[in-house]
Structure 1
Amino acid sequence: MAEAHPDLSKAQKRWILVATVLGSSLTFIDGSALGVALPAIQRDLGAGPAAAQWISNAYLLTLGALVLIGGAAGDRFGRRRVFLIGVVLFALSSIACGLAPTAQLLIAGRAAQGIGAALLTPGALALIGATFPQDERGAAFGAWAGAGALFGMVGPLVGGWLSDHADWRFIFWINLPLAVLTVVVALKAVPESRDESATGLDWPGAVLAIGGLGALIWGLTAAPDLGWTHPGVIGGLIGGVVLLAGFLWAEAKGPHPMMPLGLFRSSVFSGINLLTLLLYFALSGAMFFLPFELIRVHGWSATGAGSAMLPFAAVMGLFSGAAGRLADRFGAKLSLSVGPVLAGTGLILLALMPPDAGYVAGPLAGMTVMAVGMTLAVGPLTAAVMGAVREGHTGVASGVNNAVARIAGLLAVALLGVLLSAVFVSGLGSGVDAPDARAQLGAVMAGEGRVPDGAVAAFHRAFQWVMLACAVCAGLAGVIGLLTAPARIQEHGVQKAV
């Protein structure tokens, strides 16, 4: 963690915190609002199921692959500079997204947004670390996280309302005044800082990570349309595996690895990152597919679907502090085993929603239980990851865990999309060939014209299978937490009881 500036006044620190919150709000609002708007985007741009997945995955791909190198770039070239570059890039790519006439151009814009987010997100956290001394960082990070929870509550409602009453493109236009305000505040209030000992960046690792993940996800996403035996699908899957193997080789041999493999010698670090992968896989899958279920099967408006996300953001925002104190008192193992299991229980409740369920009998119970489980797990998860490594490696450890969470979302949308398509096609019966079935799936998800009742029922069954798969992953995460989470949290190389 960076040394704090010793000569900053309280007012200066507050303005620096404001700048980081404003910059991070670009990603908080955009990400949460877009999920509810995806059905409308798919309809307006004539996008099929695979394109709808890529609108989400293009962003997660570049963000997950580059977030580690983004943090290292800030240390070397200046944290304020890299943060501002990320903000400006995010704003410019938001303009491209707002103007995109086709799904393909929107996907390209979303990929550029991911690059901007990979620069500004670690940049915001690094600026907080460089501004506030050790005894003030907890409150500063808490304020930053609380603002994220607030924007998380507002985002789905904004996205839903704009989809229903205006134009989903305004989701991207909102970013522009926020970005301008961020740049003005940062230039006036934020001093530059860097790590004078920082060395080179892991560009080979970044290229291999993007190439490997991109090829693998492309193969998984294209397979339902082209077939698993299509040369392009086979090539994508094999090429992705080969490139990811090359990434691991580069991290083992490179002089400046962005993901030092030595960290994984710790069973706690490895176990908690596997827990993160499974838990965020479950969460991301649920959040991606739930709006389609509520809007296309239950007949809700996009605004109504956005309101279904409120319990999750409210519980996370209001009770994260209490969950942290609970883990301090009873230990991380309890929170990291019970929390994921509770999240899985909430996912089962979402799977059991009947198509005619109202708000209370529908998403309220499932989202609330899932939110309680995630709230119990998230804080102790971060603390356990950072406590599993030596002092001086906590920033890298936290960054790796953040990247794992992003990649989990990327994998969730692709793999669960395969499951959704397979169950949907099977539900239509043998009388419908695969291309027609995929066309009907696209029509259901986009809400295009009249679709057969059987297709809507098949989508509901497919959604149930997706939620159950998410629940299984969350339950497995709880088992891993029970087996690997520490009973003691290690800080700065010293074991302390909890």
Structure 2
Amino acid sequence: MTSTTEGTRSAPALLAVLMPAMLATVIASDMVNLVLPAIGAEFGASEAELAWVVTGFLLMFSVGIPFYGRVSDRVSLRRLFVFALLTYAAGSLVCALAPDLLALVAGRIVMGVGAAAIPVLSIIAVTRLMPENRRGTGIGVLSAASGVGTAAGPAVGGGIGQLLGWPALFWLMFAVALVLLPSALRVLPGEPPAGEARFDLPGGVLLGLGAGLALFGITQAQVAGLAAPSSWGSLVVAVVAVALFGWRTVRVAHPFVPPALFANRVYRNAVALAFLAMVVNLGGLVFVPLLVVDVNGLTPGAGALVMIPAGIAVAVVSPLIGRLADRIGTRPLVLAGLAVIGLFSLFLSTFTGGASVVPAGVGIFGLSVGFIFVLTPLISAAAGALPAGQVGAGLGILQGAQFLGAGTGPALFGVLVTARQQGGGGAVNPLYGGSEGAAYSDVFLTMAVVVVPALAVACRMRPREAGHARYTTRV
């Protein structure tokens, strides 16, 4: 008996729901960055207070992803997806009508609760509902939406915010969520999966607490410094929470994360690689726009335009990579992608100190394409290596690792930039010839260094791990 209903559901109809949902939620995470000054001027808020407009959303996102993945093993995709869209719409409405900063932050938190479900449920839906030989293509299409949303978020936010005001961003998200509801009800299955009926809720709370506090502590280190109690205190509590989570995992009958997940070598490698690749990718997506504004003197809106070719490339390449992964497997694509990421990180570190913004555009273009070569095959391989009853939990943890990398990279690199700008001195890279921007050169060089352990993990992948485990369609 199969665990999917491939024969009764159209793959194009499924992706027609999942793609715009993924695009909207990814855009939502970054769309406010360029309108924060306008929000601060309207509400009379400080930079530290404004940071919560971003942090509140991200914290709920990081906590929610593993929960939605785990719950999807016992609750139908239709119910979870509809709940997520309604919650996302409600949070968007609160933000659009917010009379003060507190209401805006509350709305962003509610948005984050809904948005956290979309990426992981979308991947789970493709894994369960599309035929195995088309799974990579489906994941590639979703990766395209995610990549375009990440690159376009600042541009969309800056453009719409400047023309129509920042509340228009949230009215747009509200409308998108409501438009998608009828299609989600029609396309997604209403029957619950035949997975494990129970799991350890306290363990899930500890995992979410650990992930959320780790992200918050890293973010606070960037804003207030590592010596601030809000930074080191959060990190200490995060470590304690994760330790308690590990203790419960090996002692309860139905742990939140089945230990067998990490006995699976394919899955274990995929989690490590997804985290490291996301650290580098988000580092580039954050610091290339900052570079062209700070060093090249572009406006924030013009700086966001530098990212558009990379977003277009991701949209075009991702489905092709998905199909290629279905044919030749994971390892060759991951190794090639990591090599490209490393080379273009070095390129950015070497050539982005001049008057032209072209090297920055070329660098982020190559970085984004390399990342898609890594991520799309990894998700497909991880999904294929998991038994049907562990797909939700496994993909929730995998995407949680991705998101943790997305929060960790920019925060740690931000600390490095601040320290280097305050300390002065030239770039570490001896080939860097720019008169300004040495701190950014060092960040891009550090990104190249992070690729080295990722390559070491990828080299340990066996060629046979490139395929998909055949038992994933059985219960």
Alignment TM class, shorter chain as reference: 0.7 to 0.9
Deviates further, 61-70 or 140-149: 140-149
Within 2, Cα distance between the matches of 1:379 and 1:119? 19
Distance in 1, matches of 2:305 and 2:229, equals 43
Query: Once the two structures are superposed, what CA deviation does each residue of 1:421-465 show, in whole Å capped at 9, x if it has no partner?
Result: 22233239xxxxxxxxxxxxxxxxxxxxxxxxxxxx999333333
Q: Tell me the distance in 1 between the aligned counterparts of 2:378 and 2:136.
A: 16
Matched, 1:482 2:459: yes
Aligned match of 1:260: 258
Alignment correspondent of 1:468: 445
Aligned to 2:212: 214
Once the 2 structures are TM-superposed, how far is the Cα of residue 70 of structure 1 from its aligned partner?
0.9
Pair 1:405 & 2:382 matched: no
Which of 179, 182, 185 lines up with 2:183 in the alignment? 185
Q: Aligned match of 1:378 in 355, 364, 375?
A: 375
Question: Which moves more between the two structures, 321-330 or 191-200?
Answer: 321-330
The more displaced of 102-111 and 288-297 is: 102-111
Between 331-340 and 178-187, report the one with greater CA deviation. Answer: 331-340
Is contact 1:222–1:233 with CA below 8 Å preserved after alignment? Answer: yes
Cα distance in 2 for partners of 1:247, 1:47 equals: 37
**Which of 87, 90, 104 does residue 89 from structure 1 map onto?**
87
Whole-Å Cα distance in 2 between the matches of residues 128 and 74 of structure 1? 13
Code of the aligned partner of 2:409:
A
Structure 1 residue 215, shift from structure 2 partner: 3.1
Q: Which of 326, 338, 345 is equivalent to 2:336? A: 338
Residue 178 of structure 1 and its aligned partner are, at CA, apart by 0.8
Tell me if structure 1 keeps the 8 A contact 2:62–2:403: yes
Q: 1:135 to 1:345 in 2, by over 3 A?
A: closer
Alpha-carbon spacing, 1:2–1:413, altered in 2? closer, same or farther (3 Å): farther
Q: Which residue of 1 aligns with 2:362?
A: 365
Secondary structure of 1:94 counterpart: helix
Given that 1:336 and 1:482 are in contact with CA atoms closer than 8 Å, whether structure 2 keeps it comes out as no
Relative distance call for 1:461 and 1:92 in structure 2 (3 A) is farther
Please report how far the alpha carbon of residue 346 of structure 1 lies from its aligned counterpart in structure 2 after TM superposition. Answer: 1.8
CA contact (8 A) 1:252 1:261 kept: yes
SS in 2 for 1:195: coil
Residue 420 (structure 2) pairs with residue 423 (structure 1): yes
Task: Map 1:127-276; keep pairs closer than 5 Å.
Answer: 127-128=125-126, 131-132=129-130, 134=132, 140-148=138-146, 151=149, 154-187=152-185, 190=188, 192-223=190-221, 228-276=226-274
SS of match in other structure, 2:257: coil
**SS where residue 466 of structure 2 aligns?**
strand
Q: Among all aligned residue pairs of Structure 1 and Structure 2, give the percentage whose two residues are the same amino acid.
A: 27
Question: Are the structure 2 counterparts of residues 363 and 264 from structure 1 closer, same or farther at C-alpha, using a change threshold of 3 Å?
Answer: same
- Cα deviations by residue, 1:301-335 (Å, 9 ceiling, x for unpaired): 33322222223222222223443455566653332
CA contact (8 A) 1:391 1:493 kept: no
Query: What is the alpha-carbon distance in structure 2 between the residues aligned to residue 386 and residue 38 of structure 1?
Result: 38
Q: Which residue of 1 aligns with 2:292?
A: 294
Distance in 2 between residues matched to 1:53 and 1:285, nearest whole Å:
18
Q: CA deviation at 1:355?
A: 5.3
C-alpha root-mean-square deviation of aligned residues, in Å?
A: 3.7
Q: Which residue of 1 aligns with 2:278?
A: 280
1:244-276 CA-partner distances (Å, limit 9, x unpaired)? 111222333334333223322244432332222
Q: Tell me if the contact between 1:60 and 1:114 (Cα under 8 Å) persists in the aligned partners.
A: yes
Matched position secondary structure for 1:253: coil
Return the alpha-carbon distance in structure 2 between the equivalents of residues 401 and 326 of structure 1: 21
Q: How does 1:24-173 map to 2 (within 5 A)?
A: 24-31=22-29, 33-34=31-32, 37=35, 55-100=53-98, 106-128=104-126, 131-132=129-130, 134=132, 140-148=138-146, 151=149, 154-173=152-171
Cα distance between partner residues in 2 of 1:213 and 1:337: 28
Closer, same or farther: CA 252–379 of 1 in aligned 2, 3 Å:
same
Q: TM-score, normalised by structure 1?
A: 0.79
Segment of structure 1 superposing worse, 45-54 or 70-79:
45-54
Whole-angstrom distance in 1 between the partners of 2:446 and 2:424? 17
Residue in 2 that maps onto 1:440: none
Mark the CA change 1:167 to 1:326 in structure 2 (over 3 Å): closer, same or farther: same
Q: What is the deviation of 1:281?
A: 0.8
Letter in 1 for 2:108: R
1:394 and 1:261 map into 2 onto residues whose CA distance is 13
CA contact (8 A) 2:62 2:211 kept: no
2:41 & 2:79 partners in 1: Cα distance? 39
SS in 2 for 1:77: coil
User: In structure 2, do the counterparts of structure 1 residues 215 and 328 end up closer, same or farther at CA, with 3 Å as the change threshold?
Assistant: closer
Residues in 1 aligned to 2:252 and 2:382: alpha-carbon distance in whole angstroms: 23
* SS of match in other structure, 2:60: helix
C-alpha deviation, 1:405, in angstroms: 0.4
Aligned equivalents of 1:56 and 1:2: distance in 2?
42
Residue 106 of structure 1, CA deviation: 4.4
Cα distance in 1 for residues equivalent to 2:303 and 2:44: 21
State the TM-score, normalized to the length of structure 2.
0.82
Whether contact under 8 Å (1:423, 1:458) holds in the other structure is no
Unaligned runs of 5+ in 2: 426-433
- Is the 2:249–2:255 contact (alpha carbons within 8 Å) kept by the matching residues of 1? yes
- In 2 relative to 1, CA 199–229 (structure 1 residues): closer, same or farther, beyond 3 Å? same
Which of 323-332 and 365-374 deviates more? 323-332
